[in-house]
């Protein structure tokens, strides 16, 4: 069936289309830098979508739960064995993504007789200063988009969503609204708005342009009525080596008042 | 065709594995030979040259250890840390061969974190106690060869079911014993056990009722007494101002007492 090259290209294209359809409904995730670290925010009904990978690395994911779980386990195992044999300082998100995850996901995607990973991953690694923070997105085909590896101007945020259009709109929103050294409550607030923008873009008659402020707010309040906020932070100056902290519900309402 | 329909990819079966198993699969953890009666033909001689003690007091569990490391009758180091933090609420204090003990502490620390990260919940106190027990059991082959004996104390704070401090000691084979009041291991421990027993029964207060300063004073006196007769126990180096390492486990986590504080109590109640 795919002995000829163009058939293979065709098979890959079909597979891409299939995966995109599967991922299209994924609830967005926003990771934004704030004064004392990085915070991951999403809204959900059932599954946990934000995870701790290692002392300084967190992950958000959309896709099939089984695939997310396998990739999450692989990431934790790689980081843990590296941290054990060398030291926690030698665990690097850059290598984890480029050297370990990306090739595995690419191979699974391109071997058209085997199952691909139905998952899209968003990672952040907190450094000792904001300059050393790294945001990184690994897609189902192994492609990587990063903020922080090169000398280009930094945005200090990253998003993950079901569709490209939704993600682009969220980025556009954050480029406008994100303040690098905002306190945590403000950052959660902005991230929730970004989530709303992303969510509006993937709904049935999705918005194409940035909606007005009050429209975003109205949508957000409607969504909050029947879903829970999930948030976790990587704290730069945490006393312990483990920087990841789940933000409990009682810490969140203060940021919803604004 | 050759494969059964359901295969778990061995590279991704983390959920069912504990961290030591992951390390063994990757060849990163040395596997001890099975202990046999004929192993070297010599009998097992415990060589835990140190003194470690722990007891419950009103503020949680106090864990103290001297700082001396010896090889035979030579003192090789006088600032050894034998009281090790494993996670926010757990301490492992070690008597025995440092190389094995520190490696064991490292495996344990990573095991607890690996469990929390993969299973998305904190490991239970019983699970933690058992994890250390398994490490000791896996190490017993080395013990029988005359290398690598470790006899630890494990102190932790159980925040889950019934909030309380928990204290355990182990033997070299991995049997765990939970204690209500105090534990001591190492070559200087007989003297320490005598003192703690005496204090708990006929002292002014029971150990569990002591305030922090009194608890620290008793710990220092006990280590000083142990050092009196045991050459492998450092006690307090009065000239070099090297004091025992004292840590306290409580509901709020682990506190390491600063040297000035230990020094002040020492000056007031011991010297």
Q: B75 in a domain, yes or no?
A: yes
CA distance A258 to chain B (A): 32
Q: Is A69 on the interface with B (CB under 8 A)?
A: yes
Q: B37 in a domain, yes or no?
A: no
Nearest-Cα residue of chain A relative to residue B114:
A80
Task: Give residue-wise pLDDT tens across range A41-73.
Answer: 999 878 899 999 999 999 999 999 999 999 999
Per-residue pLDDT at A3 exceeds 80:
no
Domain that holds residue B146: 43-269
Chain B residues near residue A48 by CB distance under 8 angstroms: 120
State residue B14's pLDDT score. 46
Tally of structural domains, chain A: 1
Q: What's the pLDDT band for A21 if we cut at 50, 70, 90?
A: very high
Q: B257 in a domain, yes or no?
A: yes
Contacts 24+ apart (CB under 8 A), A110-117: A110/A12, A110/A141, A112/A2, A112/A8, A112/A11, A112/A12, A112/A15, A116/A15, A116/A19, A116/A140, A116/A141, A117/A63, A117/A67, A117/A70, A117/A71
Q: At what angle do helices B259-269 and B212-229 cross, to 10 degrees?
A: 80
Q: A52 in a domain, yes or no?
A: yes
Q: A49 in a domain, yes or no?
A: yes
Chain A residues near residue B106 by CB distance under 8 angstroms: 84
Q: Is A84 on the interface with B (CB under 8 A)?
A: yes
Q: What's the pLDDT band for B3 if we cut at 50, 70, 90?
A: very low
Report yes or no: B17 and A74 within 8 Å, Cβ to Cβ.
no
CA distance A52 to chain B (A): 6
Q: Is B156 a catalytic residue?
A: no
Q: B183 in a domain, yes or no?
A: yes
> Which one from B47, B50, B100, B256 is the annotated catalytic residue?
B50
Q: A113 in a domain, yes or no?
A: yes
CATH code, domain with B75: 3.60.20.10
Q: A232 in a domain, yes or no?
A: yes
Q: B184 in a domain, yes or no?
A: yes
CATH code, domain with A32: 3.60.20.10
Q: What is the pTM of this model?
A: 0.89
Domain that holds residue A96: 26-249
Q: B68 in a domain, yes or no?
A: yes
Q: A171 in a domain, yes or no?
A: yes
Tally of structural domains, chain B: 1
Mutate to test the interface with B, among A64, A77, A243 (most CBs of B within 10 A): A77
State the maximum Cα–Cα separation within chain B, in Å, rounded to a whole number.
79
Q: B30 in a domain, yes or no?
A: no
Q: B196 in a domain, yes or no?
A: yes
Q: What's the pLDDT band for A78 if we cut at 50, 70, 90?
A: very high
Task: Give residue-wise pLDDT tens across range B162-185.
Answer: 889 999 999 988 999 999 999 999
């Amino acid at each position: 069936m795919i002995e000829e090259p163009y058939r293979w290209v065709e098979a890959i294209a079909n597979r891409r289309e299939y995966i995109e359809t599967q991922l299209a409904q994924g609830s967005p995730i926003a990771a934004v830098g704030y004064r004392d670290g990085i915070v991951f925010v999403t809204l959900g009904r059932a599954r946990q979508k934000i995870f701790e990978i290692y002392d300084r690395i967190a992950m958000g994911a959309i896709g099939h739960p089984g695939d997310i779980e396998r990739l999450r386990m692989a990431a934790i195992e790689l980081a843990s064995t590296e941290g054990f044999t060398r030291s926690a300082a030698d665990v690097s998100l850059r290598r984890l993504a480029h050297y370990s995850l990306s090739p595995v996901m690419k191979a699974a995607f391109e071997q058209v007789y085997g199952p691909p990973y139905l998952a899209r991953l968003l990672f952040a690694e907190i450094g000792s200063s904001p300059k050393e923070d790294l945001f990184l997105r690994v897609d189902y085909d192994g492609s990587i988009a990063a903020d922080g590896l090169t000398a280009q101007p930094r945005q200090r945020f990253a998003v993950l969503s079901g569709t490209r259009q939704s993600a682009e709109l969220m980025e556009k929103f954050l480029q406008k609204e994100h303040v690098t050294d905002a306190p945590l409550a403000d950052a959660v607030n902005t991230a929730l708005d970004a989530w709303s923008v992303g969510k509006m873009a993937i709904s049935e008659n999705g918005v194409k342009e940035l909606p007005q402020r009050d429209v975003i707010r109205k949508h957000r309040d409607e969504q909050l009525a029947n879903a829970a906020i999930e948030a976790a932070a990587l704290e730069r100056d945490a006393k312990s080596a483990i920087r990841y902290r789940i933000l409990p519900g009682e810490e969140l309402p203060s940021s919803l008042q604004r | 065709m050759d494969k059964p329909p359901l295969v778990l990819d061995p590279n991704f079966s983390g959920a069912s594995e504990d961290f030591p198993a992951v390390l063994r699969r990757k060849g990163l953890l040395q596997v001890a030979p099975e202990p046999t009666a004929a192993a070297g033909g010599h009998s097992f001689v415990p060589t835990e040259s140190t003194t470690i003690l722990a007891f419950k007091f009103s503020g949680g569990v106090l864990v103290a250890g001297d700082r001396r490391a010896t090889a035979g009758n030579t003192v090789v180091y006088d600032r050894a840390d034998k009281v090790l933090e494993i996670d926010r609420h757990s301490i492992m204090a070690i008597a025995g061969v440092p190389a094995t003990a520190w490696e064991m502490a490292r495996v344990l620390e990573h095991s607890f974190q690996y469990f929390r990260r993969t299973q998305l919940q904190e490991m239970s106190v019983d699970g933690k106690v058992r994890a250390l027990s398994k490490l000791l059991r896996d190490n017993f082959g080395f013990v029988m060869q005359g290398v690598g004996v470790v006899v630890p104390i494990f102190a932790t704070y159980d925040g889950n079911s019934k909030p309380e401090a928990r204290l355990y000691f182990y033997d070299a084979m991995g049997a765990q014993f939970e204690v209500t009041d105090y534990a001591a291991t190492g070559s200087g421990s007989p003297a320490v056990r005598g003192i703690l027993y005496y204090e708990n029964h006929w002292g002014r207060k029971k150990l569990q009722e002591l305030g922090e300063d009194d608890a620290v004073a008793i710990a220092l006196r006990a280590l000083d007494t142990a050092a009196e007769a045991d050459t492998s126990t450092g006690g307090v180096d009065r000239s070099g101002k090297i004091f025992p390492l004292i840590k306290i486990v409580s509901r709020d986590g682990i506190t390491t007492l600063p040297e000035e504080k230990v020094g002040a109590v020492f000056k007031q109640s011991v010297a």
